Amino acid sequence: MPSTRLVPVGGIRHTLAEPGETQVAVRYEVDAASGRVHLTARYAGATDAPTLPAFGLEWTLPKQYENLRFYGLGPEETYHDRLHGGKLGIFERTAAEDNAPYLVPQETGNHEDLRWAEVLDAQGHGMRISQAGSEHFAASLLPYSSLMLEEATHQNELPPVRHTFLRLLAAQMGVGGDDSWGAPVHEQYQLPARSRLHARRESGTVLTAIKKLPLTRELLYRTEGASLSCWYETVTHH
């Protein structure tokens, strides 16, 4: 990758809702040469904190950006303890396809070991998110946010679809359920709150259609220590 000159454009510091009030820093930098945006989120870890389900960011996007194209494990969903069912390749999914209609709405649609992911509209316009460095990442694109899925106890309690929600994760714990009912996640697939995680993502310029979008960012903070680092940029497919 050519040398870059990163210009800081903003930073956010979040306080996690746990007894230790752990701080998480989110930083945005622009590559002056290419216009790509470099995103970094770091969580240093905390002692005496519960195991975290996931660490990353969730963005609210316009509804028309409902297509996900990615290079990683697929085509179906994969999780830290559900990797063997996935194949490495380039796959295309929609937000609706990745939203499994469980009787009780819950975690769904995650894709692990991603090198890059693209979120596109019907005309092929959108943005690409790619790993910064050697660490892969996980992502999902769904018609509902994590909070919406968590609050609903039946499918009919989910709200009308008005947006899509892109979730970028440095790490996520497994889903467990070895007995198809209630088995907990094995220890090796958990994310201890005291451990450090680092993830960087790169993306180029956000598509023209999304460029002025006030991306709503919701911090998902369930791990010991983590860092999300990536680039995001505009892409167009004809």
CATH of the domain at 75: 2.70.98.10
pTM of the model: 0.79
- Answer yes or no: are the C-beta atoms of 171 and 114 closer than 8 Å: no
Domain that holds residue 132: 6-236
Residue 188 lies in a domain: yes
Residue 68 lies in a domain: yes
The count of structural domains within the chain is 1
H helices of 71-171, in order, are: 146-151
Residue 97 lies in a domain: yes
Residue 43 lies in a domain: yes
Residue 61 lies in a domain: yes
What contacts 24+ positions apart, CB below 8 Å, involve 14-23? 14/219, 14/221, 16/46, 16/219, 16/221, 18/46, 18/49, 18/50, 18/193, 19/48, 19/49, 20/46, 20/47, 20/48, 20/49, 22/46, 22/49, 22/221
Residue 1 lies in a domain: no
Instruction: State how far the Cα of 147 lies from the Cα of 149, in Å rounded to an integer.
Output: 5
- pLDDT (tens, 9 = 90+) of the chain, 238 residues, equals 445 566 666 677 877 766 777 778 888 888 777 778 888 887 777 776 667 777 888 889 999 999 999 999 999 999 887 888 899 999 999 999 999 999 999 999 999 999 999 999 999 989 899 887 777 899 999 999 999 999 999 999 999 999 999 999 887 877 766 666 667 776 666 666 655 554 444 444 333 333 333 333 344 433 334 556 666 667 777 6
